[in-house]
Structure 1
Amino acid sequence: MQGPVIPWRPGRADRDVSFCTPDGRLPDASKNHDHLRAIFNRMGFNDQEIVALSGAHALGRCHTDRSGFDGPWTFSPTVLTNDYYALLMDEKWQWKKWNGPAQLEDKKTKSLMMLPTDYALIKDKSFRKTVELYARDNDAFFKDFSEVVMKLFELGVPFTASEESRFRFKPSE
Structure 2
Amino acid sequence: MAFPVVDSEYLKDVDKARRDLRALISSRNCAPIMLRLAYTSLSLPLSVSVCFPRKWHDAGTYDAKIKTGGPNGSIRNEEEYTHGSNNGLKKAIDFCEEVKSKHPRITYADLYQLAGVIAVEVTGGPTIDFVPGRKDSKISPKEGLLPDAKQGAPHLRDIFYRMGLSDQDVVALSGGHTLGRAHPERSGFDGPWTKEPLKFDNSYFVELLKGESEGLLKLPTDMTLLDDPQFRHFVELYAKDEDAFFRDYAESHKKLSELGFAPRSSGSKAIVKDNTILTQSAFGVAVAAAVVILGYFYEVRHRIK
What's the TM-score once normalised by structure 2's chain length?
A: 0.46
Q: Report the Cα offset of residue 115 of structure 1.
A: 1.1
C-alpha distance in 2 between matches for 1:47 and 1:123: 13
Q: Among 233, 239, 242, which residue is 1:138 paired with?
A: 242
In the other structure, the counterpart of 2:140 is 19
Alignment pair present for 1:114 and 2:114: no
Q: Report the Cα offset of residue 13 of structure 1.
A: 2.2
* CA offset digits 1:78-110 (Å, max 9, x no partner): 1110000010002x32xxxxxxxxxxxx2xx2x
C-alpha distance in 2 between matches for 1:14 and 1:112: 37
C-alpha distance in 1 between matches for 2:220 and 2:164: 22
Q: Report the Cα offset of residue 161 of structure 1.
A: 3.8
Alignment pair present for 1:3 and 2:125: yes
Residues 158 and 19 from structure 1, CA distance in 2 versus in 1: closer, same or farther, beyond 3 angstroms? Answer: farther
The one-letter code sitting in structure 2 at the alignment partner of 1:138 is: E
Q: Report the Cα offset of residue 7 of structure 1.
A: 1.1
The one-letter code sitting in structure 2 at the alignment partner of 1:36 is: L
Alignment pair present for 1:81 and 2:201: yes
Alignment pair present for 1:158 and 2:262: yes
Higher strand share: 1
The one-letter code sitting in structure 2 at the alignment partner of 1:19 is: S
Structure 1 runs of 4+ aligned residues shifted over 6 Å read: none
In the other structure, the counterpart of 1:60 is 180
Q: Report the Cα offset of residue 160 of structure 1.
A: 3.5
Alignment pair present for 1:37 and 2:157: yes
SS in 1 for 2:127: coil
Unaligned runs of 5+ in 2: 1-122, 273-305
Q: Report the Cα offset of residue 12 of structure 1.
A: 2.2
Q: Report the Cα offset of residue 159 of structure 1.
A: 2.7
The one-letter code sitting in structure 1 at the alignment partner of 2:224 is: A
In the other structure, the counterpart of 1:103 is none
C-alpha distance in 1 between matches for 2:265 and 2:187: 40
SS in 2 for 1:66: helix
The one-letter code sitting in structure 2 at the alignment partner of 1:134 is: Y
Query: Looking at both structures, which has the greater relative contact order when contacts are Cα pairs under 8 Å and sequence separation is at least 6?
Result: 1
Q: Report the Cα offset of residue 19 of structure 1.
A: 2.7
Residues 160 and 7 from structure 1, CA distance in 2 versus in 1: closer, same or farther, beyond 3 angstroms? Answer: closer
C-alpha distance in 1 between matches for 2:237 and 2:125: 17
SS in 2 for 1:7: coil
SS in 2 for 1:19: coil
SS in 1 for 2:222: helix
* CA offset digits 1:110-153 (Å, max 9, x no partner): x1011111110000000000000000000000000000000000
Unaligned runs of 5+ in 1: 94-105, 168-173
Q: Report the Cα offset of residue 158 of structure 1.
A: 3.4
Higher helix share: 2
Root-mean-square deviation over aligned CA pairs: 1.8
In the other structure, the counterpart of 1:96 is none
In the other structure, the counterpart of 1:99 is none
